[in-house]
């Protein structure tokens, strides 16, 4: 998770995660959506589908990026947003 507040106005945090295949991406999207929906939080916008390799769930102050490995390597958001502070890293 990146704290992008000091470097951007579009959100406060980026959550970046990867799934190993399309089925895994779909499961991550469904679980994040379900858990936040249960907490009464709905996305403002979603973009992409698991088969595309990149899904974005925009929760206003938190944007969740769910990648397939190839897309995560290609876009390298950690490098693009390298001025942002890493809040949590789980591998």
Tens digit of each residue's pLDDT (9 = 90 or more) over 29-85: 999 999 999 999 999 999 999 999 999 999 999 999 999 999 999 999 999 999 999
Indicate which CATH number applies to the domain containing 41: 3.30.460.10
63: containing domain: 2-86
In this predicted structure, the answer to whether residue 21 has a pLDDT above a threshold of 90 is yes
Assigned token pair, 54: 């990149």
Number of domains in the chain: 1
Residue 15 lies in a domain: yes
In this predicted structure, the answer to whether residue 91 has a pLDDT above a threshold of 90 is no
Residue 70 lies in a domain: yes
4 to 8, 22, 39, 47, 84: CA distances (angstroms)? 6, 28, 24, 20, 5
pTM of the model: 0.93
Residue 91 lies in a domain: no
């Amino acid at each position: 998770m990146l704290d992008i507040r000091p470097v951007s106005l579009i959100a406060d945090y980026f959550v970046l995660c990867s799934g190993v295949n399309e089925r895994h991406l779909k499961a991550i999207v469904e679980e994040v959506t379900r858990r936040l929906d249960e907490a009464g939080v709905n996305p403002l916008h979603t973009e992409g589908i698991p088969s595309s390799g990149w899904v974005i769930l925009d929760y206003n102050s938190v944007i969740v990026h769910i990648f397939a490995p190839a897309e995560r390597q290609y876009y390298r958001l950690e490098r693009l947003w390298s001025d942002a502070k890493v809040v949590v890293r789980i591998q």
